[in-house]
Amino acid sequence: MAILNIRKEGDPILRRSSREVDVITPRITTLIEDMVDTLHKADGCGLAAPQVGVLKRVVIIETEPGIIYKMINPEIISSSGSQNEAEGCLSIPGKWGITERPAKVTVRATGIDGRTFELTGEGLLARAICHELDHLDGKLFTDCAIRMLDPDEVE
């Protein structure tokens, strides 16, 4: 597979809304596998297609090593609770901020096999789901940060 270029803050594609995937083609499955390679190379926990220059509703998340969620046309169907934690982004390197996100979310998506599934996540997984789905609508974590952190505040 290939390592894709991660778009950085200021790139206008990061502010655009993504289109739904109508058909899971070989091009979409290749995109997802390339996104996995790119995520591993960048040492992140999530990546959305707009971050690699593709305006499609596709995200991948790996908050636990070896467990990769590949989601096509994901949508949050329920959320509860609240958590305020530090958040960063591969598209905004070196910046961190405190954001308020739900403590628990359930997302419905289509897998690369074409089957619909639901995933419920808490803690970091819930944060990652919200963060990556925001990318699909042209939103960055800095848009919802309660406050930005100074470099010496980041662990």
pLDDT average, residue stretch 92-106: 97
Total number of residues shown for the chain: 155
pLDDT tens digits for 103-127? 999 999 999 999 999 999 999 999 9
Nearest Cα residue to 61 out of 27, 100, 111, 9: 111
What is the model's pTM? 0.97
Instruction: Give the domain 12-153 fold.
Output: Peptide Deformylase (3.90.45)
pLDDT value for 155:
67
pLDDT tens digits for 6-27? 999 999 999 999 999 999 999 9
36, 1 Cβ separation under 8 angstroms: yes
Tell me the CA distances in angstroms from 127 to 28, 84, 107, 113, 114, one per residue in order. Answer: 25, 10, 12, 25, 25
When the pLDDT of each residue in the chain is averaged and rounded to a whole number, the result is 97
Catalytic residue list: 132
Q: What percent of the chain has pLDDT over 70?
A: 99
104, 120 Cβ separation under 8 angstroms: yes
Q: Could you identify the residue written with the tokens 């200021």? A: 10
